[in-house]
Homo-oligomer: A and B are copies of this chain.
Amino acid sequence: MSELDAFRTEVREWLEANCPPEMREPIRDEDDVCWGGRNFKFKNDAQKAWLEACVAKGYTVPDWPKPYGGAGLTPEQTKILKQEMKRIKARSPLDSFGIWMLGPALLKFGTEEQKVHYLNPIARGEIRWCQGYSEPGSGSDLVSLQTFGEDKGDHWVVNGSKIWTSYADKADWIFCLVRTDKTNKYQGITFMLFDMESPGVTTKPILLISGNSPFCETFFDDVKVPKDQFVGEINRGWDVAKYLLGHEREMISGGGAGGDMVSIGGAFAKAFGKNEAGELDDPILRAEMAAFDTDVFAYRAMGERFMDMWKTGRAHPASSNMMKYVGTELNKRRHELVMSGGGSDALEWDSEESKGGARARSWLRTKANSIEGGTSEVMLNVIAKRILDLPGA
């Protein structure tokens, strides 16, 4: 038996022993997600036990080095762990922006001290992070950021506001782009970290068209931030932000916002019935679903190729923009078809049968796919300039 096979057996046994049955049920709603953090309330004992078991093994961040709270697994081992978890339908023990975003930034740009200091609490689910990039009025245009940190020797005093800060009302700390040099429009931004309990920080949830409020507006009024709480270099926060945007896009295009890339027509054939020829009994919708399915299977192939190339450095650095563009547009189309297939049932907004309007709300939610993490228009600009090398403008 190869080492990897041995590892697989070990993981399988560990999961069997440690993953509670409740944690093998599908996620039903937001409440089932374990976000961690100072004020997090576990939904039940199983959720808590599962997190603690994973923390002990380093399995909340299996590929991070052990000194930072990970399990130090190789990419092959990480893949096996994921496969085995998927096999038993284990829920993710811990989700957080700390794991997805700040962690990778610190691993790349952080000092050794910062890594130890910040990554461990993330891995243990003790500190929940949020992200502060966009500002009212800036949107896709990060150059126009206005939030300013005035240099006061050993600390900055930060004033301004952020928008689209995910779950800022529930987060403990924020990683945040703050202008620290007004003379340099393109640079002059620092990637700061600070506690959301700092005096002067307030948050206000934003109600979305889906009826949910996953985002906030966040206001900074003379917030004191110690001068050692930044990542990368002062005035070079761009480098960190760009790296993270690429990382986010990779996540989104690698499946996240791409949604379930499975056939849509097959599922609807049941709801619609079939005609004598065995075809879904709405010929035009059938045609649109078949065209969509064709695009889904094709996109899945591209996703595989992209990941294969990305991992081995063969992908064009801007190709994640293309994946993001194609994947998010496709996902929006999927949900238009889901609504169409669902007919008047799918219009229901709060009935029990509709699971509280789940289809309608998801459909509306997908409209943000092509806006968040860089709009489709920005993606197309980047492809045009950086991949096709089209001239200025």
Contacts and interface: CB of A to CB of B under 8 A. Distances in A.
A291 B284 CA distance: 9
A295 to B, nearest CB: 13
Interface in A282-301: 283-284, 286-288, 290-291
B277 A284 contact: no
Contacts of A287: 283-284, 286-288
Counting chain B CB atoms within 10 Å of each CB, the highest count among A276, A279, A287 belongs to A287
Nearest to A286: B283
A284 B287 CA distance: 5
Contacts of A283: 279, 283, 286-287
A275 interface: yes
Contacts of A284: 287, 290-291
Counting chain B CB atoms within 10 Å of each CB, the highest count among A279, A283, A286, A288 belongs to A283
Interface in A172-194: none
A381 to B, nearest CB: 15
Contacts of A275: 277
A307 to B, nearest CB: 31
A242 to B, nearest CB: 27
A288 B276 CA distance: 22
Contact of A276 (B277, B286, B290): B277
A291 B291 CA distance: 14
Contacts of A290: 284
Contacts of A291: 284
A272 B284 CA distance: 18
14 contacts: A275-B277, A276-B276, A276-B277, A277-B277, A279-B283, A283-B283, A283-B286, A283-B287, A284-B287, A284-B290, A284-B291, A286-B287, A287-B287, A287-B288
Given A277-B277, A287-B287, 10 more contacts: A275-B277, A276-B276, A276-B277, A279-B283, A283-B283, A283-B286, A283-B287, A284-B287, A284-B291, A287-B288
The list of the 4 closest CB pairs from A to B, nearest first, reads: A287-B287, A284-B287, A283-B283, A276-B276
